């Protein structure tokens, strides 16, 4: 089970996966973790995610053995860059993790990198194209994803920008008057809207739940505040229990 190390936007100290909500919850009462706030799937994506998994579940299941090795490479690279490991599912949406996929626009490799982006992030293109290398292309994708997060501070906007480019996001923000993905999505290309929902759906299939990368910035901040409040109450309960033990002795 992958662990998301959140070190972006002042969220240091929060480590989440689908088996343990956060390391800020005292270890001795992790059995209470089931009562912790859960990550909710946005209603704008719920129907799509349900239908996508129902339709593609068998195919996704058949790919697990093949994808495990490549996902482990991506986990390692994202950890080096301090990025959420769950971003690896974007590669699955981009290419199905097939290294030799070539789009009509000229994007190549497991991360479907365009020539300009590949060069910008240090890859050689053409003969012996490094976009086809899982390790090197993931490093390039990690740098690109990091730069997009610095720009937007919102993982869903990052996923959208990876598909349609920052220019498309800026236009949608201007036309909608919002920086919230779900508020501006109608101003994005249909392909991009589906791309984001596919990312969420694939994430939910492999992780059996969501994470901070399947939420908007506002949803993420609200969730983390709820987690911190829950952790504080758990800490108070732990201290009260310790005190009662001392008194009994």
* Residues linked to residue 108 through DSSP beta bridges, in sequence order: 102, 113
Q: Which of 81, 88, 93 is nearest to 146 (CA)?
A: 81
- CB proximity list for 169: less than 8 A, separation 6 or greater: 152, 157, 160, 161, 184, 188
**26: its two tokens:** 């005292």
* Active-site residue, 94 included: yes
The answer to whether the CB of 234 falls within 8 A of the CB of 29 is yes
The radius of gyration of the chain from alpha carbons, rounded to an integer in Å, stands at: 20
Of 32, 86, 94, 207, the catalytic one is 94
Measure CA of the first residue to CA of the last residue in the chain; give whole Å: 41
How wide is the angle at C-alpha 227 spanned by C-alphas 224 and 232, nearest 5°? 125
Helices (H), 82-189: 89-95, 115-120, 134-152, 155-164, 166-176, 181-184
Q: Which two tokens stand for residue 4?
A: 């998301």
Backbone angles phi, psi at 243, to 5 degrees: -65, -40
Instruction: Catalogue the active-site residues.
Output: 94
């Amino acid at each position: 089970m992958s662990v998301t190390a959140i070190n972006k936007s002042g969220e240091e100290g929060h480590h989440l996966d689908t088996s343990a909500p956060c390391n800020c919850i005292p270890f001795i009462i992790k059995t209470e973790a089931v009562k912790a706030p859960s990550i909710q799937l946005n209603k704008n994506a719920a129907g799509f995610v349900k239908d996508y998994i129902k339709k593609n579940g068998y195919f996704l299941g058949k790919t697990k053995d093949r994808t495990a090795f490549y996902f482990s490479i991506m986990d390692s690279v994202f950890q080096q860059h301090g990025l959420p490991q769950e971003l690896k599912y974007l590669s699955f949406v981009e290419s199905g993790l097939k290294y030799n996929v070539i789009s009509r626009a000229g994007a190549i490799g497991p991360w479907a990198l365009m020539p300009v982006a590949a060069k910008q992030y240090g890859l050689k293109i053409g003969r012996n194209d490094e976009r086809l290398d899982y390790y090197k292309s993931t490093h390039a994708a990690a740098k690109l994803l990091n730069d997009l997060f610095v720009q937007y501070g919102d993982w869903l906007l990052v996923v959208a920008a990876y598909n349609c480019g920052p220019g498309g996001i800026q236009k949608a923000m201007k036309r909608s008057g919002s920086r919230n993905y779900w508020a501006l999505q109608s101003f994005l290309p249909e392909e991009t809207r589906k791309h984001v929902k596919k990312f969420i759906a694939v994430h939910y299939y492999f992780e059996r739940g969501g994470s901070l990368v399947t939420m908007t910035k506002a949803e993420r901040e609200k969730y983390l505040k709820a987690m911190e409040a829950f952790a504080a109450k758990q800490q108070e309960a732990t201290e009260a229990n310790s005190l009662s033990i001392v008194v009994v002795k």
